[in-house]
Amino acid sequence: KAGVTQTPRYLIKTRGQQVTLSCSPISGHRSVSWYQQTPGQGLQFLFEYFSETQRNKGNFPGRFSGRQFSNSRSEMNVSTLELGDSALYLCASSLNVAGGSSYNEQFFGPGTRLTVL
């Protein structure tokens, strides 16, 4: 079974531009979560999508948005890029969003390294 794929792997943008990152989850997985990883802040949760609906959202400004398509593929968009948006953006997929009995393992992609100049 193919793993989580993210495109592109590397991206260089300038301040003020916008960027779209793509994530293809493992086949059959319906939940996709996005994280921002930086040396100073570690891994911070951006949002989670399940069946094309945003189920959870972290504490990021409205410049960060996402969506999920009917095939579970997800995109995240960052508008008006700032220098501080330079980070590794990780996508993770899981089989479902469930509380209680399921440990709900998340499978991570390799990430997209975004550099903002």
Q: Does residue 87 touch another protein according to CB under 8 A?
A: no
Q: Calculate the CA 4 to chain-centre distance.
A: 11
From the list 7, 54, 104, 115, which residue makes contact with another protein (rule: CB under 8 A)? 104
Query: Which residue is associated with the tokens 């999920």?
Result: 68
Spatial CB neighbours of 28, under 8 Å, sequence gap ≥ 6: 95
Query: Which residue is associated with the tokens 């590794």?
Result: 88
Nearest-approach distance from CB 19 to another protein, in angstroms:
19
- Only segment of 14-22, 70-78, 79-87, 106-114 that touches another protein (CB under 8 A): 106-114
Nearest-approach distance from CB 98 to another protein, in angstroms:
8
Q: Nearest to residue 90, comparing CAs of 29, 25, 40, 2?
A: 25
Query: Using CB under 8 A as the criterion, which residues of the chain lie in contact with another protein when the complex forms?
Result: 4, 33, 35, 41-45, 48, 55-56, 58-59, 90, 92, 97-100, 103-111
